Amino acid sequence: MNKYFLLIALLASTVNLSAQQTTSNQKKVAALLAKMTLEEKVGQMTQITLGVVGTQVDGEINQEALKNAVVKHSVGSILNVTNHALTVDQWHNLLTKIADEAKTTRLKIPVLYGLDAIHGQTYTLDATLFPQNIGMAATRNIQLAKAITKVTANELRASGVRWNFATVLDCGRQPLWSRFPETYGEDVFIGKTMGAAVIKAYEEDGLDKTTAVASCMKHFLGYSASRNGKDRTPIYLPEIEMREYYLPQFKEAVKAGASSVMINSSIVNGIPVHASKYLLTDILRKELGFNGVAVSDWEDIKRVYTWHHVASSPREAVAMCVNAGVDMSMVPYDFTFYDLLIDAVHKKEVSVQRIDEAVSRILMLKMKLGLFDNPYPEESAKANFGKPEYQTLALDAAHEAMTLLKNQDEVLPLSKNKKYLVAGPGAQSISALNGCWSYTWQGKDEQWYPKDSKTILQTIEDKVGKSNVVTTTEKGFEGIKNFDGDALIKSAKDVDCIILCLGENAYAESPGNIADLALDENQQALAKAAISTGKPIILVLTEGRPRFITNIEPKMNGILMAYWSGKKTAEAIADVLFGDYNPNGRLPYSYPRSSGEIVLYDRKPAEDIREVFNDDIHTGYNPLFAFGTGLSYTTFAYSDLKLSTKNLVGDEKLHVSVTVSNTGKIAGKHTVELYTRDLYASISPDMKRLRAFEKIDLKPGESKTVKFSIDKNDLAFVNAKLNTVTEPGEFTVMIGDLMESFQYK
């Protein structure tokens, strides 16, 4: 049995909410709703940040402020931390005080608490952090993604929190975007399959169980398609593109049972998504069939007035967004939404029926989560926090994320009997290994990381001994010594190789906005200093998005992409560099060569062509490293690609098989990817699309036949009438260096 299957089974068993339970909850919600005043209903739709009811001391409650929020304003939800992560006991104490206060209200409706636990339980000290989504996409391992999700759910619930604002389903097709590391990369198929699996893993045990939490699809819809790459900036997205590349992930997540959705902060084609009835009601509710809670993002209903200027007053903004389909407002600092919505109802700008609809969804979620039965943190859930096996899983995930991009003359793996210079700002930075949402929002404050967290420098010293390692670095990413090129040149004289650690320090959301994908000048200068020594250089990249390295890549002997891979990133890096782990990650995006050539792998034929004097030259897709790149210390060969038929008809399945052999000298994991191409269609077809993948493990000399099944739905596209169709014609199946064609009729 796959060990991740086993771990998932051990963490929890699958228990689905029965139809009988659902009916019972619906009756309870209806009965409760009938007793509620308008003020109590609108309070349920109000979400505030912890700072409103807390003090300047993290984890402390201002009892008077709490009473004002919960008793006077009937708030339905609280989120966030004041500054940094808390201990499990601090969470239990805080949440108990909130539950106690809710018990004093007329109807005793519990408060639902929510956090952004996007790569582990972000906001509990010593919780286990795993790779960011972009690193998990590199693993191409669905079962591994589910296993780490189960741990996140366990550690959230152990903290007393039952609502997680995860996972991000935005398609990462704009590499400048500061939330790119939270995505599963540029491919739709990886995004929808891994995303849906994660959503299901959060919830499938049953929301009333201590191994599950309510998930949240983020951010509906098109958030990542920012025209200028800045966070929360305008998006211009033709609907045909929206439906082809950005909607499928949410469609699958709805099918997987997502309990909630968070709305895109920006505007799409000039309309704030929070105020778009077309997107939030017509598509999300009616077309996709979503019936969970729709929550705004941070302060975004206010911004319909203050930023976007489509509402002429704050009250009009509230009315527009609630009427469009927002059920809960992340206000988050005050009670203006509460006051304005009550006023809007009195003025008949929002109907009571719409209020009841929103509140019913919120109450139903609280029912499913068992909050009405027990609104307090569950003492028994504490046993699921910090288990030793979680650290093993974190290392497994970091290992499988590691993506080897270059290995010139087989310079890797390195010998443990030579001397090394470890340089660069990433060498002694913990935050640059974890990235955003890591015990603090930005992830930069290293005092909150677990005390046993290791740096790249430490793990290399562990491999070869401190006497064989020289460094020119200091702790933290921004330290001046980290960028001293002269010191690097001097220190390199007596070493055999330079391990150069470059990339990005942690950032989240708008603070991560950049104007250029180029590495900063200090890092470029450091790389040039390393090149000037004439020593072999291994470049280790810890970054959330692809920063340009085109000018230094030719002089790098080896390049390892480590992403932001969580608690065990440094250990995984050292294991790969010194041959104790055979890398098997694959790039989940096309690593661009230059700003003028950001072309995605599933490009249109015309994007592939650069016309020169009427000659069509196919150089349009010319990234530094292509989507799917990922080297190994062994070699794999493909043979015997077979299709079950050359003529696929109607709803029939096309069965595809291929033999994969490990032709090298060591064991290795390998992801087999199946792509298709539609040669001609009514809409210019993509050059290739990933349709299936499977990760296998092969010993030296071992071969395995990998089988896939696809059908017309896997070949479909969105046509000019915005319908998803499969047109008759010729298709090509591509696996590795092999291809076969068939006709669809």
Who's near 446: CB < 8 A, 6+ residues apart? Answer: 429, 430, 431, 475, 476
HSE of 117 in the Cβ direction (CA atoms, 13 Å)? 34
Does the bond joining 167 to the residue before it have cis omega, within 30 degrees of 0?
A: yes
- Residue 119 has which token pair? 């790569």
| Number of helical (H) and strand (E) elements in the chain, helices listed first | 21, 28
Catalytic residue positions? 297
Place of tokens 């509230």: 318
Who's near 665: CB < 8 A, 6+ residues apart? Answer: 634, 700
8-state DSSP, 702: -
10 Å Cβ neighbour count for 645? 12
In terms of DSSP bridges, do strands 717-718 and 724-725 run parallel, antiparallel, or are they unpaired? antiparallel
Gyration radius from the chain CA atoms: 26
Residue 348: Cβ-neighbour burial (10 angstroms; 0-12, 13-18, 19+): exposed
What 3-state class would DSSP assign to 719? coil
What 3-state class would DSSP assign to 628? coil
- Residue 117 has which token pair? 């636990």
- Residue 222 has which token pair? 């098109």
Alpha-carbon dihedral sign for residues 278, 282, 285, 288: negative
Closest CA to 50 of 69, 35, 27, 34: 69
- Which segments within 391-491 are labelled E, that is strand? 403-407, 420-423, 469-471
- Residue 352 has which token pair? 């009571």
* Rounded distance between C-alpha atoms, residue 174 and residue 432, angstroms: 21
What is the length of the chain?
745
What φ, ψ does residue 97 adopt, rounded to 5°?
Answer: -65, -40
Residue 84 in contact with residue 50, Cβ under 8 Å?
no
